[in-house]
């Protein structure tokens, strides 16, 4: 592997955010993507759930996902049937998606270094950054960059190195089993709340290639539960049959961590910019964020291009303002939902699922996507929902 000594943009993280930044840098701008795993897209650290409208808006090929038109939401004693035909859920082939995103910068001066760990960085007197990396089999080495993008995920490796930020104290921790779908309905996604996923939720998601993903995510430290232990308890119970889920056959496990803290408006620190999970862009309601990482990464790549081509650093503030318009208000309400629901007991979830069953499906999808727009909240059902979740605010 050729170890570059200098680049315009060092991107720490080879997930959807970092790869999307690289794909939208100008043709004359050099970049290096540092990815600590040995392969792009493996291991899988996300369930890959998203929404068809967003995938189409991003121009993502249809062979990268499967479309799901129905949903079933369970609590301990209730179930709600949801028609998603007007706003379908999708499940990505996560590995294929990440590898596709990586190809979008193949025609640019972009070098992707897998099996390479970011260790630290320092700002030099000339304003550049000198970063220390370690590559498998090649030891430690250094690279200079004019800008550095923190797309490292929840641990915020770059900001932590520069004492500009630190890993969140509250996180969503997920554990998922992927196995052949068997006789289960390939057009129905499942969510379950309550005892099987205290301070979190569980899911069953039909996936590409005739597979099914059964997962549980919990919020820590709201609960001391480990999602793997919760999964083992579920598998040893008789409750899978109630959810319409077949017992898993031996296959592979996916696991991941996302931040679950209030949205922070500051994304730009001079020549350091954060994006994706490093910027807390996963939705606070369901924790899905692939679509948001791609969109924000592309916008950051375009803004960095303008900075490097014109020398006008204010273009980075355009990226920050765009993100704040998209996330700050919505995530404030979404995080209130998140923190309140984390303390729900079985009775609370039964009442909530009964209410969900009466909601308009478009409104429910907006709430799941953390899109708490004024128009949505002005609707009569929306007002009722807000009064229930935040009685003092409504």
Which pLDDT value is given to residue 383? 46
CATH number of 51-92+170-259: 3.30.9.30
Structure tokens belonging to residue 188: 């129905």
Residue 87's nearest CA partner among 71, 72, 64, 65 is: 71
Percentage of residues in the chain having pLDDT higher than 90:
84
Q: Is the confidence at residue 231, as pLDDT, over 80? A: yes
The answer to whether the beta carbons of residues 192 and 297 sit under 8 Å apart is no
Q: What is the mean pLDDT of the chain?
A: 92
Q: Is the confidence at residue 327, as pLDDT, over 80? A: yes
Which pLDDT value is given to residue 393? 39
Q: Is the confidence at residue 361, as pLDDT, over 90? A: no
Which pLDDT value is given to residue 215? 97
CATH number of 6-43+96-169+261-331: 3.50.50.60
Which pLDDT value is given to residue 218? 96
Whole-structure pTM value: 0.93
- pLDDT tens per residue, range 365-374: 888 999 887 7
Q: What average pLDDT score do residues 6-14 get? A: 98
Percentage of residues in the chain having pLDDT higher than 70:
95
Structure tokens belonging to residue 59: 């121009």
Which pLDDT value is given to residue 284? 92
Q: Is the confidence at residue 151, as pLDDT, over 90? A: yes
Domain boundaries, the chain: 6-43+96-169+261-331, 51-92+170-259, 344-389
Which pLDDT value is given to residue 335? 92
Question: What whole-number distance in Å separates Cα of residue 223 and Cα of residue 7?
Answer: 43
Cα dist from 91 to 62, 63, 327, whole Å:
11, 11, 23
Question: What whole-number distance in Å separates Cα of residue 361 and Cα of residue 70?
Answer: 10
Secondary structure (3-state) at 339: helix
- pLDDT tens per residue, range 129-147: 999 999 988 899 999 999 9
- pLDDT tens per residue, range 21-78: 999 999 999 999 999 999 999 999 999 999 999 999 999 999 999 999 999 999 999 9
Q: What average pLDDT score do residues 104-112 get? A: 97
Which pLDDT value is given to residue 377? 65
């Amino acid at each position: 592997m050729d170890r570059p000594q200098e680049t315009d943009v060092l991107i720490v993280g080879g997930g959807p955010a970092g790869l999307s930044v690289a794909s939208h840098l100008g043709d004359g701008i050099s970049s290096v993507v540092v990815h600590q795993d040995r392969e792009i897209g493996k291991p899988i650290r996300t369930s890959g759930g998203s929404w068809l409208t967003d995938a189409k808006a991003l121009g993502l090929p249809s062979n990268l996902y499967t479309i799901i038109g129905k949903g079933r939401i369970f609590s301990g004693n209730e179930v709600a049937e949801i028609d998603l035909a007007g706003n379908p859920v999708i499940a990505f082939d996560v590995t294929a998606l990440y590898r596709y995103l990586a190809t979008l910068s193949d025609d640019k001066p972009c070098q992707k270094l897998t099996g390479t760990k970011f260790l630290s960085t320092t700002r030099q007197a000339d304003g550049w950054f000198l970063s220390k990396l370690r590559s498998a089999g090649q030891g430690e080495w250094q690279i200079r960059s004019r800008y550095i993008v923190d797309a490292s995920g929840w641990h915020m490796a770059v900001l932590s190195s520069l004492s500009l930020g630190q890993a969140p104290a509250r996180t969503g921790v997920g554990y998922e089993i992927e196995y052949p779908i068997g006789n289960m309905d390939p057009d129905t996604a499942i969510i379950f709340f309550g005892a099987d996923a205290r301070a979190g939720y569980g899911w069953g998601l039909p996936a590409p290639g005739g597979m099914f993903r059964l997962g549980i995510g919990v919020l820590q430290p709201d609960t001391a539960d480990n999602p793997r232990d919760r999964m083992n308890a579920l598998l040893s119970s008789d409750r899978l049959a109630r959810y319409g889920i077949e017992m898993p056959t031996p296959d592979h496990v996916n696991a991941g961590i996302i931040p679950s803290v209030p949205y922070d408006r500051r994304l730009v620190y001079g020549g350091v910019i954060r994006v994706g999970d490093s910027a807390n862009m996963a939705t606070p309601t369901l924790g899905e964020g692939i679509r948001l990482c791609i969109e924000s990464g592309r916008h950051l790549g375009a803004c960095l291009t303008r900075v490097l081509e014109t020398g006008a650093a204010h273009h980075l503030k355009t990226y920050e303002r765009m993100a704040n318009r998209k996330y700050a208000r919505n995530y404030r309400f979404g995080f209130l939902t998140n923190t309140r629901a984390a303390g729900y007991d079985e009775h609370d979830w039964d009442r909530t699922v009964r209410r969900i069953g009466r909601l308009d499906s478009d409104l429910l999808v907006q709430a799941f996507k953390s899109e708490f727009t004024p128009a949505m909240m002005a609707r009569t059902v929306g007002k009722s929902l807000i009064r229930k979740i935040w009685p003092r605010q409504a």
